[in-house]
Amino acid sequence: MAHVLIVEARFYDHLNDMLLAGARAAIEAAGHSHETVTVPGALEAPGAIALAMETDRYDAYVALGVVIRGETYHFEIVSNESARGIMALTMDGIAIGNGILTTENEAQAIYRADPAQADKGGGAAKAALAMLDLKQRFG
């Protein structure tokens, strides 16, 4: 049984609740346990995962959050840098599912976050578990 850490960038509560529900359901359906920590925003998610890696308590990680395009360049910075940070950790052999949504508007975010629709939280958890399986296979 794997122990998974869900790192949620809790900026939009109602959207994160859906992402979190999907991720938890997918992890539990696969027979694994999980914990959740909250960070202020998507930029902090990779750092939290890096800190948690040092504890050796977790087998895989799921990053959750929502970034909705605004009127400034900030959207691009947050979207690109959070993805870059997660990808850097993944390239180091860490099993991570990236469920940080980057959308144009709230309607797109709702569709993607809702477990009854696109279930991107559940998809990120399944990706993390799939990468863990590969890590164990090749390890």
Domain edges within the chain: 57-139
Look at residue 70 in the predicted model and tell me its pLDDT.
85
Look at residue 32 in the predicted model and tell me its pLDDT.
98
Is 112 flagged in the annotation as binding? yes
Structure tokens, 29: 């359906």
Is 98 flagged in the annotation as binding? yes
Is 138 flagged in the annotation as binding? no
Look at residue 71 in the predicted model and tell me its pLDDT.
82
Position 139 pLDDT exceeds 90:
no
**pLDDT 10s digits, 59-96:** 999 999 999 998 888 899 999 999 999 999 999 999 99
**pLDDT 10s digits, 102-114:** 999 999 999 999 9
Look at residue 119 in the predicted model and tell me its pLDDT.
98
What mean pLDDT comes out for the span 9-16?
94
What mean pLDDT comes out for the span 14-26?
97
Is 5 flagged in the annotation as binding? no
The topology (CATH level 3) of 57-139 is Rossmann fold (3.40.50)
Helix (H, G, I), strand (E, B) or coil at 1: coil
CA 115 to centroid of chain Cα atoms: 14
Give the catalytic positions in this structure. 74
CB hemisphere CA count around 73 (13 angstroms) = 1
Look at residue 87 in the predicted model and tell me its pLDDT.
97
Cα–Cα distance measured from residue 49 to residue 37, given in angstroms and rounded to the nearest whole number: 10
